[in-house]
């Protein structure tokens, strides 16, 4: 394999803008990178996600077309 055609990877830090967690990784851009959310503060990963499901698809169809149940 030709070594001169591959980019050089360097250690970098990814920092979460919400909670400030720093995640070490390797990247071709050796700079500090800001993330919007990380797995420590994202609601889908922490279990704090709220699902507003009210009724079923049949209820939504009935409501949309004003059908009696």
What digits encode the pLDDT tens for the residues 27-59?
Answer: 887 777 888 888 888 777 777 766 666 778 888
- The H helix count followed by the E strand count for the chain is 2, 3
Confidence (pLDDT) at 68: 59
pLDDT score of 12 more than 70: yes
Which CATH number belongs to the domain containing residue 17 in this structure? 4.10.80.400
Please check whether residue 33 lies inside any domain of the structure: yes
Q: Which domain holds residue 56?
A: 3-64
pTM of the model: 0.50
CA-based Rg of the chain, rounded to a whole angstrom? 23
In the sheet with 22-27, reading across from the earlier edge strand, the strands are 22-27, 10-16, 33-35
Rounded-to-integer distance, Cα 15 and Cα 32, Å? 7
42 located within any domain: yes
Number of structural domains (the chain) is 1
Is residue 69 one of the residues assigned to a domain?
no
């Amino acid at each position: 394999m030709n070594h001169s055609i591959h980019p050089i990877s360097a250690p970098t830090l990814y920092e979460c803008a919400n909670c400030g967690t720093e995640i070490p990784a390797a990247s071709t851009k050796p700079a500090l990178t800001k993330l919007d959310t990380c797995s420590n503060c994202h609601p889908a990963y922490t279990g704090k996600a709220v699902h507003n499901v009210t009724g079923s698809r049949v209820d939504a169809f009935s409501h949309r077309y004003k059908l009696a149940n």
